[in-house]
Amino acid sequence: MGLIEIRWHGRGGQGVVTASELFAEASMLEGNYIQAFPEFGPERMGAPIKAFTRISEAPITIHSHVYTPDIVVVLDPTLLGQVNVTEGLSDDGIILVNYSKDLESLKKILKFKGKVYALDATKLALEKIGRPVANTSCAGALVKITGLVGIDNFLAATVEKFKEKLPEKAVLANKEAIMAAYNGVEQ
Amino acid sequence: MSEKTWKEVPMGGLILEAGNAAEYLTGDWRTERPIFHEDKCKQCLFCWICCPDTSMIIKDKKVIGIDYDYCKGCGICMEVCPFDAIEMVQEGGDE
Amino acid sequence: MAKPMAISGNFAAAYSTKQINPHIVAAYPITPQTLMMEKFSEYVANGEVDTELICVESEHSAMSACIGAAAAGGRVITSTAANGLALMFEVVYIAASLRLPMTMCVMNRALSGPINIHCDHSDAMGVRDSGWIQVFNENAQEVYDTMFQACRIGEHKDIKLPVMVNFDGFITSHKVERVDVLDDDVVQDYIGKFEPMYPLLDVDNPLTYGPLDLFDYYFEHKRQQVDAMQKALPIIEKEMKAYGKVSGREYGIMESYHLDDADYVIICMSSTAGTTKFVVDRMRAQGKKVGLLKLRLFRPFPAKQIAEQLAGVKRIAVLDRSESFGAFGGPLFTEVRNALYDVNDKPGITGYVYGLGGRDISADQIEGVFNKLISAPDKMIGDIQYLGVRGD
């Protein structure tokens, strides 16, 4: 595996940074080098924000922003008209969107020639977690789509990250959401 | 002024000997010199209490003279003495 | 061996501070440093360290408390950034002048104004003449490792100077990276027991710190500081090698990256050096003879070593992440150019100021600098250019 760059889109408060870190931490469990960082700026609930993940088998030296991501994940479908989510994404890239309607309409909106995946992650999160936080579901789906990380390691990283911050029930709910997304994402 | 080089002085301006201010004799600041007249002294020790440079020499609880190494000649001892036992004279004569 | 951790530069600084277990930490919060002290205060609250954490009311007080604690005979760590460092400016000089070893993390951030919380090196460059040893770090791993080296270097009997561990605000302080950590006992064995030279708390040997020092001795004491800095250079090189044996990670005072046969070289510090390595790899794959000289140690400035490293190079670009208004180039440029004055067959040299206030520097921009070096005429004018600013 060479250097893989992932860009995460969402809004402040939706766990965008957490998702970027979670994916990185899971990859590190497999012996890889990682970076996870937000686009630093004023942190405002609801404002469009970006976060980035880099993973690589070799140490990562680049420290600039991510300009040409290999993968884009959009956690909030309402961003689609507002933010150019495919910026810098080449045609052999991948985009995953938290999106409730059919894939064809999503492709029409994105006008993107590469691989497009949709997952109704908000619905899934409401079912499993009881709150519309789509970050873990989307990351779980990305595990399946990309195969960059083993699902066992991803779940282990999730438990490690949340065990001190969330009650046990919430950690389990997140694990369930991840598994549902992992099994449910349309290939 | 001592002529020690940067290789000889303690680093950082530290002063490594406690109380070495005693090495600095302030007696040469004096323009007037107090003279102690033992015959007039009633040993009230006002001068000893008031001297800012602890320059009144005491032996067996009695004033016996003045430490000219440190006395700056301020004249306070003369001012406070109720018995005119201390007199100030100009420095610069030949004793 | 402990497992690698996915942590930010701030966390790495806090975790290494925990492993050092200093006697005193005194600090005041300022972005982007805050998370380090938040994390460290957790260790204190959990009883994981023996450190007395002094919560002060300003950075001036933080450094003053550190000076007092170091003079008393303690191992001391603090951290700050930007305006906080500016507020402690006066006492920063005093720490070095009193020859008190201590470590200060500086999460480099632009100095106002207008107010900006993002990365550049103007804060650290403002105190480059204060007498502190200054190390600039590329990533969280380097920060972690340098914290231990800083103890050994600053506390060395022939140095006795404070050490500033610099890293890029947000870029390194807030980015989560993989950090390979040492076991606590390995750290303790390496840094050793702290042996203060003149502790104020040694009541059997009373002494005075900070007396008035006028034209009779002040100059001699400054000359001693010059001597300490000169002696520090080879000791720092040695200590960094020794750390390589302990950790398997050796850094040196500078890092040469594909420099041996390079014709075109970029010199820079901190995270930008990492991005430059990425660019060098990319351009080497195209057969271009480019290289990087990453400077870690800025004070004492290793002028001779730099001149040696750059022998035979055709053209050089120096990247400064701070401006020195009215000067001929940024601080790094002026130092490097000065270092090359006595070199035969001087390379062409040009200076760039980039990234002020956190403006990102991309791999493409760095490649652009290399391409300009490659296509430049043999005799380059030592011009200063501004990389990434609109309007140039």
Residue C378 has pLDDT above 90, yes or no: no
Element (H, E) at A72: strand A71-74
Question: What percentage of chain C reaches a pLDDT higher than 70?
Answer: 99
CA distance A90 to A185: 22
Which position has the token pair 């947000």?
C170
pLDDT tier, A1 (very low <50, low <70, confident <90, very high otherwise): confident
Q: Which residues of A touch C355 (CB under 8 A)?
A: none
Task: State the CB neighbour count (10 A cutoff) for residue C112.
Answer: 13
Read off the tokens for A157: 């990283």
CA distance A20 to A40: 14
Question: In chain C, positions 144-183, which contact chain A (CB-CB < 8 Å)?
Answer: 168, 170-172, 174-178
Helix (H, G, I), strand (E, B) or coil at C54: strand
pLDDT tier, A187 (very low <50, low <70, confident <90, very high otherwise): low
Sign of CA dihedral C139, C266, C149, C22: negative
End-to-end distance of chain C based on CA atoms, in angstroms? 51
Read off the tokens for C42: 């957790």
What is the pLDDT, as a whole number, of residue B21? 85
* B3 lies in some domain: no
What is the pLDDT, as a whole number, of residue C381? 65
Rounded mean pLDDT, A27-35: 97
Rounded mean pLDDT, B67-89: 96
Contact across the interface for C211 and B16, Cβ inside 8 Å: no
Contact C161, C154 (CB under 8 A): yes
**For residue A37, what are the β-bridge partners?**
A52
pLDDT tier, B92 (very low <50, low <70, confident <90, very high otherwise): confident
Which position has the token pair 């991309």?
C362
pLDDT (tens digit, 9 = 90+) per residue, A129-139? 999 999 999 99
pLDDT tier, B18 (very low <50, low <70, confident <90, very high otherwise): confident
Largest CA distance in chain C: 69
pLDDT tier, A45 (very low <50, low <70, confident <90, very high otherwise): confident
Which residue among C4, C274, C361 sits closest to A28, beta carbon to beta carbon? Answer: C4
CA distance C209 to B14: 5
* B15 lies in some domain: no
Question: In the 3-class helix/strand/coil scheme, how is C250-319 assigned residue by residue?
Answer: CCCCEEEECCCCCCEEEEECCHHHHHHHHHHHHHHCCCCCEEEEEECEEECCCHHHHHHHCCCCCEEEEE
- Give burial (CB, 10 Å; 0-12/13-18/19+) of A137: buried
CA distance C190 to B2: 42
Mean pLDDT score across all residues of chain C: 96
Contact across the interface for A60 and C177, Cβ inside 8 Å: yes
Please state the φ and ψ torsions of residue A111, each to the nearest 5 degrees: 50, 45
What is the pLDDT, as a whole number, of residue B2? 60
Rounded mean pLDDT, C175-190: 98
pLDDT (tens digit, 9 = 90+) per residue, C240-249? 999 999 999 9
Helix (H, G, I), strand (E, B) or coil at C230: helix
Question: In the 3-class helix/strand/coil scheme, how is chain B assigned residue by residue?
Answer: CCCCCCCCCCHHHCECCCCHHHHCCCHHHCCEEEEECCCCCCCCCHHHHHCCCCCEEEECCEEEEECCCCCCCCCHHHHHCCCCCEEEEECCCCC
**For residue A36, what are the β-bridge partners?**
A53, C176
Residue type, C335: E
Distance (Å) of CA A9 to CA A76, C22, C306, C349: 7, 41, 44, 42
Contact across the interface for B14 and C209, Cβ inside 8 Å: yes
The CATH class for the domain spanning A4-184 reads: alpha beta
Question: In the 3-class helix/strand/coil scheme, how is A136-164 assigned residue by residue?
Answer: HHHHHHHHHHHCCCCHHHHHHHHHHHHCC
Output Rg (C-alpha) for chain B, integer angstroms: 17
Q: B45 to chain C nearest CA, in Å?
A: 32
- From B3, which residue of chain C is nearest by alpha-carbon distance? C216
Total domain count for chain B? 1
Q: Which residue has the higher pLDDT, C2 or C119?
A: C119
Sign of CA dihedral A133, A136, A140, A145: positive
Cis peptide before B52 (omega within 30 of 0): no
Contact across the interface for C198 and B14, Cβ inside 8 Å: yes
Residue A41 has pLDDT above 80, yes or no: no
Distance (Å) of CA C354 to CA A105, C60, C120, C272, C318: 43, 30, 9, 10, 10
CA distance C271 to C140: 10
Domain C5-247 and domain C254-387, same fold? Reply is: yes
A–C contact (≥3 CB pairs within 8 Å)? Answer: yes
Instruction: Give the residue among C54, C62, C69 at the shortest CA–CA distance from C85.
Output: C62
Architecture of domain C5-247: 3-Layer(aba) Sandwich (3.40)
What is the pLDDT, as a whole number, of residue A44? 79
CA distance C97 to C80: 20
Rounded mean pLDDT, A62-83: 96
pLDDT (tens digit, 9 = 90+) per residue, A155-182? 999 999 999 999 999 999 999 999 999 9
Mean pLDDT score across all residues of chain B: 92
Q: For strand C176-179 and strand A33-38, is the pairing parallel, antiparallel, or unpaired?
A: antiparallel
Helices C271-284/C363-375 angle, 10° precision: 60
* B10 lies in some domain: no
* B6 lies in some domain: no
Contact across the interface for B16 and C217, Cβ inside 8 Å: no
The residue count of chain B comes to 95
What is the pLDDT, as a whole number, of residue B94? 57
pLDDT (tens digit, 9 = 90+) per residue, B45-56? 999 999 999 999
The residue among A63, A68, A154 with the most chain C CBs within 10 A of its CB, best to mutate, is A63
Which residue range is the domain that position B82 belongs to? 25-90
Rounded mean pLDDT, C23-49: 97
Q: What is the DSSP string of C83-117?
A: HHHHHTHHHHHHHHHTT---EEEEEE-PPPSS---
Helix (H, G, I), strand (E, B) or coil at C322: coil
Residue C382 has pLDDT above 80, yes or no: no
* B9 lies in some domain: no
pLDDT tier, C171 (very low <50, low <70, confident <90, very high otherwise): very high
* B18 lies in some domain: no
Residue C334 has pLDDT above 80, yes or no: yes
The CATH class for the domain spanning C254-387 reads: alpha beta
Q: C97 to chain B nearest CA, in Å?
A: 6
Q: Does C115 touch chain A (CB under 8 A)?
A: no
- Give burial (CB, 10 Å; 0-12/13-18/19+) of A102: exposed
CA distance A137 to A120: 9
Domain boundaries, chain A: 4-184
Q: How far is CA C186 from the centre of its chain?
A: 24
Lowest mean pLDDT among A26-35, C158-167, C208-217: C208-217
Interface of C to B at Cβ within 8 Å reads 97-100, 160, 198, 205-211, 213, 216-221, 223-224, 227-228
* B71 lies in some domain: yes
Q: A28 to chain C nearest CA, in Å?
A: 7
Per DSSP, A78 falls in state: G
pLDDT (tens digit, 9 = 90+) per residue, C67-90? 999 999 999 999 999 999 999 999
**For residue A9, what are the β-bridge partners?**
A50, A74
CA distance C41 to A24: 26
Domain boundaries, chain C: 5-247, 254-387
pLDDT (tens digit, 9 = 90+) per residue, C2-20? 899 999 999 999 999 999 9
What lies within 8 Å, CB to CB, of B20 at 6+ separation is none
